[in-house]
Amino acid sequence: MELLSKYKGGLKKDYLGKLDIGEKSLESFFDPKYLRKESPPIPSPSEVELVRHFVKLSEMNYHIDKGMYPLGSCTMKYNPKINEDMARLPGLVNIHPETPESAIQGSLQLMYELGEFLKEISGLDAISLQPKAGAHGELTGLLITNAYFNSLGEDRKIVLIPDTAHGTNPASSRRAGLNVKEVKSNKDGILEPDSLKEAMSDNVALLMITNPNTLGIFESHIRELANILHSDGALLYMDGANLNALLGKVRVSDFGVDILHFNLHKTFSTPHGGGGPGSGPLAVTEKLSSFLPIPTIEFEKKKYYFNWGLENSIGKIASFYGPFLVIVKAYTYIRMLGVEGLEEVSEQAVINSNYLLTRLKDMYSLPYGKNCMHEFVLSGSDFKEFGIRTLDIAKRLLDYGYHAPTIYFPLIVPEALMIEPTETESKESLDGFVEAMKNIAKEAREDPDKLKNAPSNTPVGRLDEVKVNRELNVRW
């Protein structure tokens, strides 16, 4: 305070020194016809008012830091904050896309090592990190499939897809110019070898399967399914969306998978939802490696480099390095956990899921499976007699402070409720969700109007969803 004590009654006006540039009017820089006559009607809040405003808005939105996110199929995992810290390192976030290889050896090493980790996890031989999302990985795998059979002089155009498949599977197949043929699951919710045999023909390119499937059940015939496909020259594609159940427990190569896409934004914790960001690396067996997108990242003579020389490559499918900062976050996650940690992730995910299933299956119908892997699917069909749909159950969950699970998927379950707790939820968190579901089941029978009018204590009540989709207004 010694300095300030010299200026009783306030700082002297010339304390900061006099301006050495004369004041000029705006008219000296701009034509007066472009200048406002009056100030715009923009509020001028103080800093504290502004901060409180945005904090209040953040509290109105639901997010993983606020509570449990039991969204089945999408694996909405908690994203460790260190992931964000690493992705904000200046040396990573400020790389110019045209920086020469010699100046980005650290970033190339990071990408190369992540690829090696994913190859080890899957047991597959080669990988591309370019695809920007799971569906983009699917499309890339299907384009590779086309190129592979074209190289053999075969024009195979059929993709076999189980009725438990993700919706992106048939969409990606059609986008790649292939035709989709559905294969029915059995009464236990898995694919039977006999069903696959019946669907096989000389025109089948591959089977596209998720394992565990979208019912949360492991496809126990997977090795036999692979043998049927391979004996006829076809391929086995595995959708990796549910890989969170298998980390450290099984390598997909061991049961005959030829192509696998990873979802870094699911299995490896980077943020997911709201349209991104995503990343869908694609791993393949040796016979398909020359068809991968260019460039791949290689290491030779103590140098990391882009390999543009793949003989049969389908070409480039993403600009520059793909979704690099998502790759950084996934790399951080894997390096922090290591082999034992990744295995524990899957163990805890399966334990949490089975705990919820055990506590909820007497309150809601369970069409398939007595136990599950990382997720499970209940049905709200028992409440139809009270005029209640699964949509009403989901909306009422919002009043209890929980994000709703996936509903009406997979399509083979009527009034489906697809629930995945992931590995990071505590027993207390799971018990709170069970209590909410228990109360809702009771309300559905005794006071169904509470569900029909839900949500009632959220910032916005129930919307007319048909009207919203038909008359979308994003300017309000």
Same domain, 332 and 410: no
pTM: 0.88
How many Cβ atoms are within 10 Å of 383's Cβ, its own excluded? Answer: 23
| CB proximity list for 272: less than 8 A, separation 6 or greater | 74, 75, 76, 77, 263, 265, 266, 278
Clarify whether residues 326 and 399 are in a common domain. no
Residue 33 lies in a domain: no
Sign (positive or negative) of CA dihedral 451, 452, 458, 463: positive
87-135: pLDDT as tens digits: 999 999 999 989 999 999 999 999 999 999 999 999 999 999 999 999 9
Q: Which amino acid is at 5?
A: S
The total number of structural domains in the chain stands at 2
Domain membership of residue 240 (yes or no) is yes
Alpha-carbon distance 137 to 23, whole Å?
59
Kindly tell me if the per-residue pLDDT of 274 is higher than 70.
Answer: no
* Residue located via tokens 């599950």: 372
Say if CB 345 and CB 247 are below 8 A apart: yes
DSSP conformational letter for 401: T
What is the pLDDT at residue 322? 81
- Asked which of 306, 337, 368 is the last residue of a domain, the reply is 337
Shared domain for 266 and 378, answered yes or no, is no
**Is 211 in contact with 218 (CB distance < 8 Å)?**
yes
| Chain mean position to CA 258 | 22
Strands 126-128 and 282-284, by their bridges, are antiparallel
Joined tokens for residue 234: 């076809």
> Domain with 153 in it: what CATH number?
3.40.640.10
Q: Does residue 275 sit in the same domain as residue 418?
A: no
Confidence of residue 59 (pLDDT cuts 50, 70, 90): confident
Q: CA 214 → CA 217, 239, 368, 372, 374, distances in Å?
A: 7, 11, 11, 11, 10
Q: Are residues 225 and 200 in the same domain?
A: yes
Residue 288, in any domain of the structure: yes
Alpha helices in 263-321 (DSSP H): 264-267
* Domain end point (choices 337, 359, 384): 337
Establish if 422 belongs to a structural domain: yes
Q: Are 66 and 412 in contact (CB under 8 A)?
A: no
If asked whether residues 89 and 128 sit together in one domain, one would say yes
Q: What range does the domain containing 389 cover?
A: 340-457
Question: Is residue 88 located within the same domain as residue 172?
Answer: yes
Tokens read off for 307? 């390999």
Mean pLDDT for 191-207 is 97
Same domain? For 326 and 430 the reply is: no
For residue range 353-411, what is the model confidence (pLDDT) as tens digits? 999 999 999 999 999 988 999 999 999 999 999 999 999 999 999 999 999 999 999 99
Q: Map residue 117 onto helix, strand or coil.
A: helix
Under a CB-based contact definition with an 8 Å cutoff, are residues 396 and 450 in contact?
Answer: yes
Q: By C-alpha distance, which of 127, 156, 126 is closest to 142? A: 156
Task: Return the residue matching tokens 């934004």.
Answer: 265
* pLDDT for 81: 93
> Average pLDDT in the 178-202 region?
97
281 and 115 Cβ atoms separated by less than 8 Å: yes
Cβ–Cβ < 8 Å for 124, 256: no
Q: Is residue 71 part of a domain?
A: no
> What's the start-to-end Cα distance of the chain, in Å?
51
Q: Which of 363, 331, 354 is nearest to 437 (CA)?
A: 363
113-122, 271-280, 308-317: least confidently modelled range:
271-280
Arithmetic mean of pLDDT, 177-198:
97
CA distance 97 to 319: 9
306 and 393 housed in the same domain:
no
Cβ contacts of residue 404 below 8 Å, gap of 6+? 71, 394, 395, 397, 398
- Residue 10 pLDDT greater than 80, yes or no: no
Between 97-106, 341-350, 443-452, 464-473, the lowest mean confidence (pLDDT) is in 464-473
Instruction: Give the span between the Cα atoms of 278 and 42, in whole angstroms.
Output: 36
**Residue 253 tokens, joined:** 């190569």
Q: Would you report the helix, strand and coil content of the chain in percent, each value rounded to 5?
A: 40, 10, 45
- Percentage of residues of the chain with pLDDT beyond 70: 95
Q: Which two tokens stand for residue 314?
A: 């389908």
CA distance 115 to 128: 7
Distance (Å) of CA 442 to CA 74, 327, 428: 28, 45, 21
Q: Read off the CATH number of the domain in which 366 is found.
A: 3.90.1150.10
Give the tokens for residue 386. Answer: 């009270």
Assigned domain for 270 exists: yes
27 within some domain: no
Both 328 and 352 in a single domain?
A: no
pLDDT at 17 over 80: no
Say yes or no: 108 and 237 in one domain.
Answer: yes
- The sign of the CA dihedral 159, 162, 167, 169 is negative
Number of Cβ within a 10 Å radius of residue 114 = 25
Spatial CB neighbours of 223, under 8 Å, sequence gap ≥ 6 = 255, 256
Q: Based on the fold, state whether residues 183 and 298 are members of the same structural domain.
A: yes
Q: Domain for residue 359, yes or no? A: yes
In 82-99, which positions are buried (b, 16+ CB within 10 angstroms) versus exposed (e)?
Answer: ebeebbeeeebeebeeee
Mean pLDDT, rounded, for 6-31: 73
Structural tokens at position 92: 């990573």
